[in-house]
Amino acid sequence: MSGVQKLTRRDFLKRTGQAGGGLMLMTHLPSVARAAGDASLEPNVFIQVRSDSTVRIVCHRSEMGQGIRTSLQQIFADELEADWDSIDLVQAVGDKKYGDQNTDGSTSIRRHLKTLRQAGASARQLLEQAAADTWGVERSECKAELNEVVHSGSGRRLAYGDLVADAAQLEPPSDPDLKSPGEFRYIGKSPDSVDGVAMTTGAASYGIDTVLPGMVYASIERSPVLGGTPTTYDEDAALAVPGVEAVLRLPEATSPVFFNPIGGLAVIAGNTWAAQQGRAALNVDWSDGDNASYSSDPYRDELFEAVHKDGFSVLARGDVEAAFVDAETVVEADYYAPHLAQAPMEPPSATAVIRDDGHCEVWACTQAPQAARSTVAQVLGLGEDKVTIHMTLLGGGFGRKSKADFVAEAAWLAKRTGKPVKVTWTREDDLRHGFLHSVSGQYLKAGLDEDGNPTSWLHRSAFPPIGTTFSREASSSNAFEKDLGLVDNPFAVPNMQIEVSTLPAHVRIGWLRSVANIFHAFAASSFADEMAYAAGEDPKDYLLRLIGPARKYNPADDGAQYGNYGQSIEEYPIDTKRMADTVNKVADMASWGRELPDGHGLGIAVHRSFLSYVAVVAEVAADEAGKMTVDKLWMAIDAGLVINPDRVKSQLEGAGIFGVSLTLFSGLTADQGRIVEGNFDTYPVARMSDTPTEIHTHIMQVDAPPGGVGEPGVPPVAPAITNAYFAATGKRLRNLPLREAGVV
């Protein structure tokens, strides 16, 4: 090149000839070993070893920037003893044969590691056995090594490709031998991302990039109030817009809403711009329905009214009321966190076509292809075998793309129009009509003795639970959200009472990165800091006192019904030593206790979520007017066994920035049932100038099963920041986002 050229992503695609909408296809992989045509070994649905010794691996999880396609390839390749450069990674479609495909809840590694290792090890063992049979020796004398099997006694070698035909005739082992950690070749290392080049050059294909022959585009005007219906609209004005082909009314929202579409008017056009212009011309009047009374300020009052009364007890230890009477000091505080939107950079988008045989085929940026398949089948009245969901790359997800409403919209419109239809949500659609993270109000009260020791802890939390999306009668007392940072409180306080209260939901409630841990950790870790100052102690030292001696805690011992993120409490106990170790490590990283410039403060917080422990120290600076900047973050994570350290580091850094955004800026409000904020001008996310100049991370080396990684870094960020602000200014901030307090 003679000079540097500035290219947009679109220009790059044009110049390199890359299509904007590649189709992700996969070939059926049988679940038992067999030879077919050109011989290959296919011992399960994930692995195929070919006659040329190359390996085909199927990724059944959704890639949204977290690097799971790379991490899964590491796991499969390690147990298979495959040469990294010989691997062809393909994306699965949504199918129950792969087991759980819902890429949510930080489950991809912690729930599936053993299964995935066994899939690779099964193929390796079959190849070793085939070599042993060929040489007439015991399998124990044969060892797979980078697409070959080597005989230890003679040094003889056979390539995988030379063994697949014989190996395919063998019965796959039910419990294959797994490698010991000392034998890992890829696990624990940080290879280059398998998608890195495509993502950085613009060649990667996301849901929003999909293009099919003869495709039309849909933009949907939805009721500003959940459950509302159109009363009048100007269809002729929309049809008068050049390029607009039709206006279609979608079925009304169901009650409960589930993951179904929520109705509205779809404008069908030859391009996205025309569809959006036609939509703007509709001039719809709406009948608002039952949720038009919902406004944030009075609802906030209802939340705090609820938490200042007795709630439903979900954990009880000792006698908190008696301990309050005997306490030398009583500390009380209210905390508030608003609705949030996931706001991925790529908004929801799906493209669907109904084939001549009635089969529905969809390309979508979905985190849950099986749920999408079921929802589409239900909406169209088809059997699931008549629906195929192709999983594209996701330009962010954060929980929003686990819901299949946008996928079902595309499928329903494809059936009505008889054409391939692409539905793309605008940013305003995304913020106003999505599945919002729940709003919450919390009340905490603690008693301290004359030495500052905590003697009692009362925590009440009120929120509309996620279950209201699936049942009108859902209550927070039965909601899994109580397991997320509330009943799993590990603090060594002799008297503890945890209560919840339910309020009705007036919007669709869903999950967002770390779910209820966000508001529960904000309250609990902020309150721990308040207790430290009330006791006249260093916040880090007091936090360690609250955590208490090394022990394994089970909330069921105090009467809680605790799910432990779907994992065994015996295998994944709440381990206070691991929690305390992360606190000590992050404090060392930040040189806790050092002298700080005027107007600077350090804050510390720790939280266990998704079976991992994360501690955060924030350093903030406040000017004379009290305006704050977050200068630095230090983050330490104990996630047990780590597959790819670079991906863990990037997830921590991303969680830090995500947490800064939520803490400083993000919040949705309702007025007469309508979400007020519509784009990033009113729902800001952190810009480069708002983010810390430094984020330091550390991965604890622990002999423990893998925990989650994508979500646990978020919850401790907010309390670390607000605690640091108090250290810098002496002012407590108990309501999120902080921009409402005028400090940013």
3-state DSSP call for residue 4?
A: coil
Instruction: Give the tokens for residue 259.
Output: 């993951």
**Contact indicator for 208, 349 with CB cutoff of 8 Å:** yes
The label of the residue with tokens 């779809």 reads: 266
Q: How confident is the model at residue 477 (pLDDT cuts 50, 70, 90)?
A: confident
The confidence score (pLDDT) of residue 725 equals 98
Provide the pLDDT for residue 624: 95
- In the predicted model, is pLDDT for residue 10 greater than 90? no
Amino acid at 292: A
Tokens coding 446: 């603690």
Both structure tokens of 6: 């500035």
Taking the C-alpha atoms of residue 492 and residue 586, their distance in angstroms, rounded to an integer, is 21
CA 198 to chain CA centroid, nearest Å:
23
What value does the mean pLDDT take over residues 698-703?
97
Q: What is the mean pLDDT of residues 102-111?
A: 96
- Residues 35 and 48: beta-carbon distance below 8 Å: no
Instruction: Give CA angle at 483 (482, 486), nearest 5°.
Output: 65
Q: Which residue bears the tokens 């006192």?
A: 545
Please give the distance of CA 278 from its chain centroid, rounded to a whole number. 35
Amino acid identity of residue 147, one-letter, is N
Residue type, 445: K
Helix (H, G, I), strand (E, B) or coil at 501: strand
Concatenating the DSSP letter of every residue in 150-184 gives: EETTT--EEEHHHHHHHHTTSPPPSSPPPPPGGG-
Written as six digits, the tokens of 65 are: 């920037």
pLDDT in tens, 617-633: 999 999 999 999 999 99
CB proximity list for 681: less than 8 A, separation 6 or greater: none
Q: Which of 20-34, 378-392, 575-589 has the lowest mean pLDDT?
A: 20-34
The Cα 362–Cα 390 span in angstroms is 6
Count other Cβ atoms within 10 Å, centred on residue 213: 7
Q: How far is residue 536's CA from residue 275's CA, in Å, rounded to a whole number?
A: 62
Alpha carbon of residue 577 to chain centroid: 27
Q: Which residue has the tokens 């199918």?
A: 95
For residue 12, give both structure tokens. Answer: 């790059």
The bridge status of strand 612-622 relative to strand 628-638 is antiparallel
pLDDT tens track for 177-209: 999 999 999 999 999 999 999 999 999 999 999
**Predicted TM-score of the model (pTM):** 0.94
Digit-coded pLDDT (tens) for 502-513: 999 999 999 999
Which contacts qualify for 15-18: CB closer than 8 Å, 24 or more apart? 16/201, 16/202, 16/203, 18/202, 18/203
Domains identified in the chain and CATH numbers: 19-201 (3.30.365.10), 207-289+348-424 (3.30.365.10), 296-341+435-741 (3.30.365.10)
Quick one: DSSP state of residue 313? E
Q: Six-digit token pair at 647?
A: 């991906």
551-561 burial code (b ≥16 CB/10 A, e <16): eebebeebebe
Give me the mean pLDDT over the 269-280 stretch.
Answer: 98
Q: Which residue has the tokens 């079959």?
A: 126
Mean pLDDT within 332-341: 98
Q: Does the structure show a pLDDT above 50 at 17?
A: no
The token duo for 602 is 């350090």
**pLDDT above 80 for 642:** yes
- SS3 at position 427: helix
Q: Is residue 616 a contact partner of residue 696, using CB atoms and an 8 Å limit?
A: no
pLDDT over threshold 60, residue 16? no
User: pLDDT tens digit string along 517-537?
Assistant: 999 999 999 999 999 999 999
State the pLDDT at residue 37: 53
